[in-house]
Amino acid sequence: MGELKRKLDTDYVYFAEVEMLLNYGIGYPDLIIRLREKIHQEGLEDSVYVRKTDRKLLQNVHRFIELLDGSDEPILDDESQPHEKWWWHLRSIARGKHPSLTLPSYLRDVYRKRRKYWKQRGKENLYNRSYWMEPRRYGQEFLGKLDKV
């Protein structure tokens, strides 16, 4: 019973964390990515909570990245992770550059419908500017500007 409860808790905590963060701005974006990895390791991808939360996260990926960049521990895309672990590649998803066939089938339609829109608005969108999408490369320049403010 303890093992079942622990697994049920993981998917619900993931759901609750994403809801709190995206609806109220309260939470830890880096924790959400780590929770999603734990769900993958525990084999909970078929949970109703996980599928619903994955959809919401993908639909709100730009807001999530904004919150992630403003957190104490911003996380960049992890190129060492395979594309099938899409939660490690949220910036490439936000740019519409992630290979759609590596996404689970329940996320492909969401991504494909939104990708065209994201690419169109990308030219005027703050998230597609280089210093937002590649903070390692432009981070010092950006932080220097913040120090002068």
Structural domain span for residue 109: 2-148
User: Is the predicted pLDDT of residue 79 greater than 70, yes or no?
Assistant: yes
The answer to whether the CB of 142 falls within 8 A of the CB of 131 is: yes
User: Is the predicted pLDDT of residue 127 greater than 60, yes or no?
Assistant: no
Joined together, the tokens standing for residue 46 give: 């078929």
**Model pTM score:** 0.75
CB atoms within 10 A of CB 70: 10
Which position has the higher pLDDT, 1 or 85? 85
Rounded Cα–Cα distance for residues 138 and 3 (Å): 44
Domain count, the chain: 1
CA distance readout (Å), 44 to 3, 14, 83: 13, 11, 18
